Structure 1
Amino acid sequence: MQGELVFLHGWGMNKAVWQLCIEELKESYKGPIKSVNLPGFGGANVPNGEYTLASATQLLGEQISDNSTIVAWSLAGLFALKLAELYPTKVSKIVLVASSPCFVEALDWEGINEQVLNDFSEQLQNNTTKTIERFLAIQAMGSERAKEDIKTLRALLKAQPAANENALSVGLELLKSQDLRTLFSRLSLPIYGIFGRLDTLVPRQVPARLADLNPLFSYEIIAKASHAPFISHRQSFLSYLKSIL
């Protein structure tokens, strides 16, 4: 019996982004498949009390059955790693999609310049819709199909209720503050990754760095993809995913 296949979305988005992939996978994957909204996104509940990575991961944990494979895009990679730490029996495999245990660049690490995230946080206070639009543009930047990618993401985003303001703000804070590299290096379950070589948010040097941190990590890089390879290069993404499953 194959375990559940669970898809988690990135910042500012919702579970509808996985719709097209799930429809195709249903033909070949024999186990249950679902996509889940991160707490506060797409109309999902937010944690009681403070919204932290741990409290939000607990809410996610309640929706995931044992022996699941977690496919996590971007911000959701932090949640997937935390799920594996807090609920080891629930997570049998992790697939990171254009994701990293540490998103901000440091002396010894490639990532997003912290000022970019600070700017987003500031803009979020003034105009949520505009900030999410700008984030969509950055995610598609570099992709040869950037315009179509943005259009697709925008349409899928509208399929669910708007994100909670606090969840958006905390999500950016998590991208800025979390460094789960030590946790990533300690995990003893299979971890896979699929990345876009043209991604400006998770630079192309990151996958090799992750392989140095954890010998159980293996990955693929799609040459002409950016930050949303499952949108711009769905067939390549799905064939890699099927090879893992």
Structure 2
Amino acid sequence: MWIETRGRGPDLVLLHGWAMNSTVWNGIADELAQDYCVHLVDLPGHGASIVTDALSLQMMVDAMDAAFPYPVQIIGWSLGGAVAAQWAIQQPEKVKSLTLVASSPCFMQRTDWRSAMPATVLAQFAEQLQLDWQGTLKRFISLQAMGDASARAVTKELLADLFKHGEPSITALSEGLAILRDTDLRDQISQITCPVLLQYGDRDTLTPLPTGHWLKSQLSDVELIVHQGAAHAPFLSHRADFLAAQLKFLASN
């Protein structure tokens, strides 16, 4: 598994979202590394972390747990947040604090859960991956930035990061989409006992803001930060405010 480490101090693990890689954090990593030992991870099957086994949420959690046999603080964006949440549920002694950025316990709509992506959207992405995977990833990035006050800049930055660690495996991309489709941690999320920071954009169409409010209602030690005008990547579009909230939270935990 690809892991780049910067800085010295308490251990801080950063986990990216589906189809991306750890370079998405470059805009904030050096700032965080002034006070923390920052571990930039390419999730299994993403970027430079090549795997031969089928991807699953549990497989990713097991890989993270093996890579970090000591307590860490975690920032998880989107899919990376689900990996981090499952890790915190299973290994509470390993996760000192958890930050969920535009993430969800359940990424696909259910009859009792509307604050998520429609099933048809995920099915379309899965089908289009087989026909034009590069175009599909570009469309997904456009969705992440849609509605953001800085949509053009966010899109440009995510596209620039997309292949910095190599081209992804179509199989891994498909398996990652299946994780987004099947993951549902709603019944387990209240088992998280560590301090949690929620950083969300009020214009996010992939993990809408009601998700953040729901998580706040389920967790015992939690703070919700809403970035006005941000969509799915507030660490890019609202970098200064994101960092200020993040550093304050990390320092207190």
Q: Same fold (TM over 0.5)?
A: yes
Contact 2:92 2:194 in 1 (8 A): no
CA deviation after TM superposition for structure 1 residue 215, in Å: 2.5
CA deviation after TM superposition for structure 1 residue 161, in Å: 1.1
Structure 1 partner of 2:76: 72
**1:198 aligned to 190, 195, 203, which one?**
203
**1:62 aligned to 51, 63, 66, which one?**
66
Give SS of 2:67's match.
coil
Structure 2 residue 221 is the aligned partner of structure 1 residue 219? no
Letter in 1 for 2:105: P
Contact 1:3 1:66 in 2 (8 A): no
CA deviation after TM superposition for structure 1 residue 148, in Å: 1.1
**1:101 aligned to 96, 102, 105, which one?**
105
**1:178 aligned to 178, 183, 188, which one?**
183
Contact 1:9 1:72 in 2 (8 A): yes
Structure 1 partner of 2:138: 133
CA deviation after TM superposition for structure 1 residue 122, in Å: 0.4
Q: Provide the C-alpha distance between the structure 2 equivalents of 1:157 and 1:182, rounded to a whole number of angstroms.
A: 33
Letter in 2 for 1:154: L
Letter in 2 for 1:85: I
CA deviation after TM superposition for structure 1 residue 51, in Å: 2.2
Give SS of 1:107's match.
coil
Structure 2 residue 122 is the aligned partner of structure 1 residue 121? no
- What TM-score do the two structures reach when normalised by structure 1? 0.94
Unaligned runs of 5+ in 1: none
Give SS of 1:205's match.
helix
Q: Provide the C-alpha distance between the structure 2 equivalents of 1:214 and 1:191, rounded to a whole number of angstroms.
A: 8
Q: Provide the C-alpha distance between the structure 1 equivalents of 2:76 and 2:204, rounded to a whole number of angstroms.
A: 16
Q: Provide the C-alpha distance between the structure 2 equivalents of 1:208 and 1:148, rounded to a whole number of angstroms.
A: 27
Contact 2:154 2:236 in 1 (8 A): yes
Structure 1 partner of 2:29: 22
Q: Provide the C-alpha distance between the structure 2 equivalents of 1:191 and 1:135, rounded to a whole number of angstroms.
A: 27
Identity of aligned residues (%): 36
Letter in 2 for 1:70: I
Aligned positions of 1:3-14 closer than 5 A: 3-14=10-21
CA deviation after TM superposition for structure 1 residue 81, in Å: 1.3
Contact 2:56 2:176 in 1 (8 A): no
Structure 2 residue 91 is the aligned partner of structure 1 residue 87? yes
CA deviation after TM superposition for structure 1 residue 56, in Å: 2.1
Letter in 2 for 1:94: L
Letter in 2 for 1:82: Q
Q: Provide the C-alpha distance between the structure 2 equivalents of 1:139 and 1:78, rounded to a whole number of angstroms.
A: 17
- What TM-score do the two structures reach when normalised by structure 2? 0.91
Letter in 2 for 1:135: F
Unaligned runs of 5+ in 2: 1-7
**2:48 aligned to 19, 29, 43, which one?**
43
Letter in 2 for 1:21: I
Aligned positions of 1:227-242 closer than 5 A: 227-242=232-247
CA deviation after TM superposition for structure 1 residue 2, in Å: 5.1
Contact 2:193 2:220 in 1 (8 A): no
Letter in 2 for 1:225: A
Structure 1 partner of 2:39: 34
Letter in 1 for 2:109: E
Letter in 2 for 1:59: A
Give per-residue Cα distances to partners, 1:143-201, cap 9 Å, x unaligned. 11111111111112232112222221111111111100122111111121100000000
